Amino acid sequence: MVEPQRSGQAGPPCWRGAGALEADASGRPGPPGESSVEELARWLAAAGDEAARRGRPLLASWVTPLPPQEPLVLFQRARPLGFRFLWRERWGPEGETRLTLVGGGVVQRVDGEGDGRFRAVAAAWREVAQQAWVAGPQVPATGPLLFGGFAFDPPAVPGPRPGVDEGARAGSAPRPLGPWDPALWEGFPPALMVVPQLLVTGWGERFWLSVNTWVAPQAEIQPLAEGLARQVDGLLGDGAPPAQAAPPAPSHEMQILPQDPGPWMEAVAQAARAVREGQVAKVVLARPQGVRLPDRVTAERVLAALREEHPQATLFALDLGPAVFLGATPEHIAQVSEGWVESMALAGSAPRGGTPEADERLGEELLASPKNREEHQVVVEAVRAALAPLTVHLEVAPEPRLLKLPTIQHLFTPVRGRLAPGATLLDVVARMHPTPAVGGSPKEAALALIRRLEGWDRGWYAGPIGWLDGAGNGAFAVALRSGLLRGGQAALFAGCGIMGASQPEEEYREWQVKLRPMLAALEEASR
134 forms beta bridges with 61
DSSP 293: -
Q: Which residue type is seen at 517?
A: P
Give CA–CA dist 232/387, Å, rounded: 40
Pairing relation of β-strands 132-135 and 58-66?
parallel
The CB-based long-range contact list for 365-371 (8 Å cut-off, 24+ gap) reads: 366/402, 366/409, 366/411, 367/400, 367/402, 367/411, 370/501, 371/499, 371/501, 371/502
The helix/strand/coil state of 407 is coil
Whether residue 339 contacts residue 2, with contact meaning beta carbons closer than 8 Å, is answered with no
Distance from the Cα of residue 445 to its chain's centroid: 26
Contact of 31 with 82, CB cutoff 8 Å: no
Q: Which amino acid is at 117?
A: R
Contact 391, 419 (CB under 8 A): yes
Q: Which of 22, 34, 282, 507 is catalytic?
A: 282
From 34, 38, 331, 507, the catalytic residue:
331
Active site residue 282: yes
| CA distances to 128, 356, 457 from 184, in Å | 31, 41, 9
CA 523/CA 370 separation, integer angstroms: 36
Other C-beta atoms lying within 10 Å of the C-beta of residue 394: 16
Tell me the C-alpha distance between 229 and 248, whole Å: 33
Query: Residue 88's beta-bridge partner residues?
Result: 100, 315
The answer to whether 482 and 521 are in contact (CB under 8 A) is no
- Rg of the chain over all Cα atoms, to the nearest angstrom: 24
> 518 phi and psi, to 5 degrees?
-75, -40
Task: Judge whether 133 and 107 are in contact, CB under 8 Å.
Answer: no
Task: Answer yes or no: 331 catalytic.
Answer: yes
Q: Residue 132's CB: how many other CB atoms inside 10 A? A: 16
Active site members:
282, 331
